[in-house]
Chains A and B, each alone.
Chain A
Amino acid sequence: MNAVEQGFQRDLERINQIVEKNGNDRTHLIAILQDIQHEFRFLPEEVLIYLSTVMNIPLSSIYGVATFYGQFSLEPKGKFEIKVCDGTACHVRKSGVIIEAIRKKLGLTAGKKTTDDLKFTFETVSCLGACGLAPVVVINEKVYPQVTPEKISQIIDQYKNEEES
């Protein structure tokens, strides 16, 4: 079993609790999905099927909502979400090199966005609105301005170590 599967090796209890807390009603579906996303860091298919049973809402409707809002992810996400701006300003300041460095360091590709141990997810975004700080990297909520390949490597190591300790 890989780490992705372990990610939702959870008790259905959690899902029932989330539903109970928000109220078992269609009007609370979005709030419930938010809580599930928070719990699992994404919306696992099996969990949504179970949710559709518990809430008596067709799976197609739940899936429709889950794919409509950008805040929801149907793919597993790592504990740390690294975003690199590849907007014009950052691109000009060589964000490409940084993207390469991060992918190499984490063993990721354009198609594979999350590490097997579910620690890191890496995505490029079009503009973070912080062009003055280009090139910009954001990890979870924290902003790292003017990064270089060396700097980002150290930063990632910090996160790795933090996780271990």
Chain B
Amino acid sequence: MSDRLLNKTMFIDGKEYAYDGERNVLEVLRKAGYDIPTLCYRSDLSVYGACRMCVVEIEGKGVVTSCTIPPEPGMKIRVNTARVRRVRKISLELLLANHHRDCTTCLKSGDCDLQHLANKMGIKDIRFAPRQETLAVDSANPSIVRDPNKCILCGACVRVCREVQGKNVLDFTHRGSKTVVSPAYNKKLSEVDCTYCGQCVAVCPTGALRVKSDIEKVWNGLGDPSKKVIVQVAPAVRVAVAEAFRFPAGTNLIGMITAVLRRLGFDKVFDTTFAADLTIMEEAAEFADRLKNNGPLPLMTSCCPAWVKLVEQKYPQFLENLSSCRSPQQMFGAVAKKLLAAHYGIDRKDLVVVSVMPCTAKKAEARRPEFRQGEQLDVDIVITTQELIKMIRESGVDLRQVKEEPMDLPFGEHTGAGVIFGSSGGVAEAALRTAVEWVTGAPVKDIDIKEVRGVESFKELQLMLNGSMVKVAVVNTLQQAACLLDQIKKGECDYHLIEVMACPGGCIGGAGQPYSIDNNLLRIKRSQGLYDIDQNMPVRKSHENPQIKRLYGEWLKEPNSHLAHELLHTGYHSKRRIQARDVNLSPGSRTDVVDVRVCVGTSCYLRGAYDFIGILKKEIEAHGLGGSVDIKGTFCLEHCGKGPNIMIDGELVHHAVPERAREIFDQYILPKCKKEVG
């Protein structure tokens, strides 16, 4: 026995297997080559143990869930017994009974773990009565559809949103047979602080959370003879379609993707990687400028819309740290709609810009009011890698049979620097390749910055630049990003440049990509795929891209020029996190009174909004104006940076700190009351 303890082995169906460091029996079984079904287990999340798919028989313990049991030396496990099969089947039938089983019309059909399992376990009929109620489906946002009728309560989305994204948008609500996974008050995702990162979609084993499909819009555009339809393909997409067409994960298929896109009917096929090079031109210039002029630093990248939304909703104090550069997707859209349309001699409205992205949040980004002219978007339609795969399958074109083709010029030309944008650390590396050269004035020879590569969620780097130390941090996942911002707030660390991507491993781990039960392995392979491309590119620095040089020579002149500013930069503003009514704070509201709305949103609350209300009320009482001032508490007036904020009869007053309560009362409220009384 002591030998066994040292040896750390267990018996699976009578055969001895060694284990080492696996966190549960399930992992040991998988390593030993067993294909144990799971629905709620995710290797990168905490263990929940609810679905009972992973059951095995362990001597002395009976039928147990293997994901919740830590391995012990000498354990005797049987994987395939009649009892195991029975428990699994009954559990699966119970899940299916509560599930809307309209598989043939479900967007997840074919990629659904529940469907696969039902098939694998040979489920023929379901002996339990179905759930009676039909719950409302939320499809009010551009990115994600939430259909609680398909939820099996595995809690994977709850865990990923909390543990990986630090967001807590979703949770279990109600109980017993009425349990639902939903945002607070069953609000829509668009009414709470969801970032549309989609990671919940990436782990959902059913169609309960799915990417909103824009495939029909693309077909419609392609079928309209009056339109010229062009497409941009993001860096991370090229290494993520491989598995779907039986190539090894991480294989670069950009040549074939390009060829297929032409067959689908796109007039021009371009590379978002070109726009990534453009982003680097602007961002490196911005970085050099902020280094020289002392700030605001750290400069934070802004290519990830989920991250931008997090800052806008939760960290307004860092808004000015965000790079003013638009993301590559939006730079492409703006340049295409202005310059390409002119170049082709067509009207802006007749050019349809489609993008293929690894990302669900990009669908929402494209609809931001900053990125449109009137009703016309810069990027008209965003589809994800998954949607592209579906379109290819639907079209009947066999990707394996097509010959590789190059992209169109001018926006098909790209560098290795642009390609690595798709992996966490890539933007920082690409920016440094250019910025260091610009700041020092000397060419950089060793351009591989290995310290910031890889799928780890936190990486850092220090380098000497013209005699001073420059500190760079690279983070992925919003939980890690929030953690870093909190540290900076407390003064526990400082950096000059911070790259943030919301998805684990960067865009290669985006929620628009195809998934598997081991998303982490896929991320590693895809990331490697991108660095391999970079390694073999003739040009590996963005500022050396010949088409970029041409674009600046002919149109933009130089980074941050007037035109560059108009097309390539943007601004950010604080946003409300939760949509809710205001709270009345004074009795008997009337309409003929002064209407005072005090923000008690997080940012303003922390700056003393509560005390402000206290003083204000005393002041009102002291003047005997109780009936003429109506005070309401509101949850964010979207100017958090200048808070605490109050709104007096529609007029916004910033910096309403408690010390200014009397002054504000005298200046803004008292005169109005007098007028109304008089």
Contacts and interface: CB of A to CB of B under 8 A. Distances in A.
Interface of A: 1, 5-6, 8-13, 16, 44-50, 53-54, 58-64, 67-68
A63 B584 CA distance: 21
Nearest to A9: B584
Contacts of A16: 610
Contacts, number: 84
10 contacts: A8-B584, A10-B585, A44-B583, A46-B581, A49-B580, A53-B635, A59-B578, A60-B169, A62-B184, A64-B171
Contacts of B192: 59-60
Given A5-B584, A63-B184, A49 B610 contact: no
Nearest to B601: A53
A12 B602 contact: no
Contacts of B170: 60
Contacts of A13: 614
A8 B587 CA distance: 10
Given A58-B168, A61-B171, A12 B185 contact: no
Interface in B590-605: 600-602, 605
Interface stretch (B62-70, B136-144, B172-180, B541-549): B172-180
B633 interface: yes
A9 B585 contact: yes
Contacts of B584: 1, 5-6, 8-9
B174 A46 contact: no
A133 B173 CA distance: 37
B633 A1 contact: no
A5, A13, A50, A54 pick with most chain B CB within 10 angstroms: A50
A1 B32 CA distance: 67
B184 A47 contact: no
A53 B600 contact: yes
B79 interface: no
Nearest to A13: B614
A45 B579 CA distance: 11
Tell me the dominant secondary structure on chain B's binding face.
Answer: loop
Given A9-B585, A9-B587, A53-B601, A67 B578 contact: no
Nearest to A66: B173
Contact of B582 (A11, A46, A58, A68): A46
Contacts of A59: 184-185, 192, 578
B583 A47 contact: yes
A38 B26 CA distance: 47
A62 B185 CA distance: 10
Given A6-B587, A67-B174, 13 more contacts: A9-B584, A9-B586, A12-B585, A46-B583, A49-B635, A50-B635, A58-B168, A58-B184, A59-B192, A61-B171, A64-B171, A64-B173, A67-B173
B585 A60 contact: no
B44 to A, nearest CB: 21
A116 B337 CA distance: 56
B185 A63 contact: yes
B183 interface: yes
B377 interface: no
Contacts of A53: 600-602, 605, 635
Nearest to B631: A11
B304 interface: no
A126 B605 CA distance: 45
B321 interface: no
Interface of B: 167-175, 183-185, 192, 578, 580-589, 600-602, 605, 610, 613-614, 617, 633, 635
B168 A50 contact: no
Contacts of B613: 12
A1 B589 contact: yes
A126 to B, nearest CB: 14
Nearest to B603: A53
Given A12-B613, A49-B635, A53-B605, A60 B184 contact: yes
B285 to A, nearest CB: 39
Nearest to B161: A60
Query: Which 9 A-B pairs give the minimum distances between C-beta atoms?
Result: A58-B168, A63-B184, A60-B171, A59-B184, A9-B584, A64-B171, A46-B583, A60-B184, A67-B174
A9 B633 CA distance: 10
Most buried by B among A5, A54, A60, A63: A60
Contacts of A5: 584
A1 to B, nearest CB: 6
A4 to B, nearest CB: 11
A54 B173 contact: no
Nearest to B590: A1
A8 B580 CA distance: 14
Contact of A64 (B172, B582, B587): B172
A50 B583 contact: yes
A127 B39 CA distance: 39
Given A13-B614, A50-B633, A67-B174, A61 B583 contact: no
Contacts of B185: 45, 59, 63
Contact of B600 (A45, A50, A61): A50
Nearest to B635: A49
A129 B172 CA distance: 32
A157 to B, nearest CB: 28
A117 B563 CA distance: 62
A12 B184 contact: no
Given A16-B610, A47-B583, A68 B175 contact: yes
A54 B578 contact: no
Given A50-B633, A58-B168, A60-B184, A12 B583 contact: yes
A16 B586 CA distance: 16
A6 B171 CA distance: 30
B171 A11 contact: no
A60 B172 CA distance: 8
Contacts of B581: 45-46
B613 to A, nearest CB: 7
B585 A49 contact: no
A92 B589 CA distance: 49
A13 to B, nearest CB: 7
Nearest to A54: B605
B71 to A, nearest CB: 32
B317 to A, nearest CB: 16
A64 B174 CA distance: 7
A13 B586 CA distance: 12
A54 to B, nearest CB: 7
Contacts of B184: 48, 58-60, 62-64
A63 B173 contact: yes
B506 to A, nearest CB: 26
